Amino acid sequence: MNRATIVLAEDHPSVAEQLRKLLGSAFDVVAVVGHGEALVKTALRLKPDVVVTDIGMPGLDGIRAAQELVHQMPSLGVVFVTVHNDPGLARKALEIGSGYVLKTSAGEELVDAVAAALDSRRFVSAALGPLEPLLGNTARPAPTDRT
């Protein structure tokens, strides 16, 4: 059975390497890029199952890059990994993607968040509290929920 493919976007090389190793234990990380423009270009070319992206990157940030990708690849899973423990930002991210993981929790939660995205489920770091209040009525349906 083939392992799911991931494109990872993270602008700090040491963090990118840690995340690549973590994700590589369960998935095939087919590319690691350092900014949003490269994420869009690479994901459109490689067509991964999931993109895992930092939010705060130079140039095109992770949220805007993910918006562009989801517009062009509606079934793409998107998991945000970030330092921002901000329910408002999490809500905005979940309008686009299916996962929001704090970098401080990535070791325990990132693989589960990607697995959830692959299974059309949502995932939010436990530190942000229950998922339902973050979703409201504005969250994008999980990729396979589309008609």
Q: Residue 32, CB half-sphere, CA atoms under 13 Å: how many?
A: 17
pLDDT of residue 146: 34
**pLDDT tens track of the chain, all 147 residues?**
689 999 999 999 999 999 999 999 999 999 999 999 999 999 999 999 999 999 999 889 999 999 999 999 999 999 999 998 888 888 899 999 999 999 999 999 999 999 999 999 999 998 887 666 556 654 445 554 333
Tokens representing 142? 């999980």
Residues 6+ apart with CB under 8 A from 76: 43, 48, 49, 50, 51, 69, 70, 143
Q: What is the DSSP letter of 47?
A: -
**pTM as predicted:** 0.88
Q: Is the dihedral of CA 128, 129, 135, 140 positive or negative?
A: positive
